[in-house]
Amino acid sequence: MTLSDTNGSSHIENEQNAWDAICVNPHEQFVMQGRQEGRDAGLLAGYTDGRQMGRVTAMDYGMELGFFRGVIRAMQQQNGSDRHERAWKTQNELTELLDRFPGPTDMFQSKIQSARITQSKGHASGIDHIEALDEGSGEQNENPIDVFSAIQRIRARFKLFTTQLGMPNFSLRQAMDAMEKRGDSSKVEKEKEIGLDW
């Protein structure tokens, strides 16, 4: 048997295997193609949904942090001679935590740095990059900004601050509910004035 006979027989075996694969499961190629297209579409949809969820979460965090800053400003404007030294210290710590909370510029710079690291490591962009991150082969930023931990620390410090002021259950939800009730009562009074209180 010569080398050409060996190559010819392997070629025939490959054709036979391909023919067997087509006969046994003629739709396998289409199933695999459909699976890959579905995976790609799912990754893109997940990315889009994640982006939308991130925007909503960012707005929630922004409202909460703004509320904390507003409470601190209101307390600073009031005559605070009756407050304990601990409350002053906690207020200063809370103000410092709020000032150190990463803003949009910090987040943007972190994202750019992360993208540069990923590109320098030779990762592709788009779906391939998402798949690489999904599989855990993507490099993480050396100093990622941990927003969740930062906001948890701020919440804990705010809870301590309000407890020291004698308002242990004071929260954004409570303030919004009070404003809503106040808004509804003024609406009822206006309706009575114009005669819509049937």
* 90 close to 162: Cβ distance less than 8 angstroms: no
* 147 close to 156: Cβ distance less than 8 angstroms: no
Q: What is the mean pLDDT of the chain?
A: 75
pTM of the entire structure? 0.58
% of the chain surpassing 70 pLDDT: 66
Q: How far apart are CA 22 and CA 25, in angstroms?
A: 6
Q: What is the pLDDT of residue 135?
A: 47
* 109 close to 117: Cβ distance less than 8 angstroms: no
Question: C-alpha angle 150/140/138, rounded to 5°?
Answer: 140
Burial of 198 (0-12, 13-18, 19+ CB in 10 A): exposed
* 152 close to 118: Cβ distance less than 8 angstroms: no
Q: What is the pLDDT of residue 138?
A: 45
Task: Please write the tens of the pLDDT for every residue from 127-160.
Answer: 555 555 444 444 444 556 788 899 999 999 999 9
Task: Please write the tens of the pLDDT for every residue from 58-104.
Answer: 899 999 999 999 988 988 887 666 667 888 899 999 999 999 988 87
Q: What is the pLDDT of residue 195?
A: 45
Q: What is the pLDDT of residue 187?
A: 55
Q: What is the pLDDT of residue 32?
A: 86
Burial of 90 (0-12, 13-18, 19+ CB in 10 A): buried
Q: How far apart are CA 10 and CA 12, in angstroms?
A: 5
Q: How far apart are CA 102 and CA 98, in angstroms?
A: 9
Helix axes 147-164, 85-100, angle to 10 degrees: 160
Lowest average pLDDT, out of 38-47, 110-119, 133-142, goes to 133-142
Domain spans, the chain:
35-169
Q: What is the pLDDT of residue 66?
A: 92
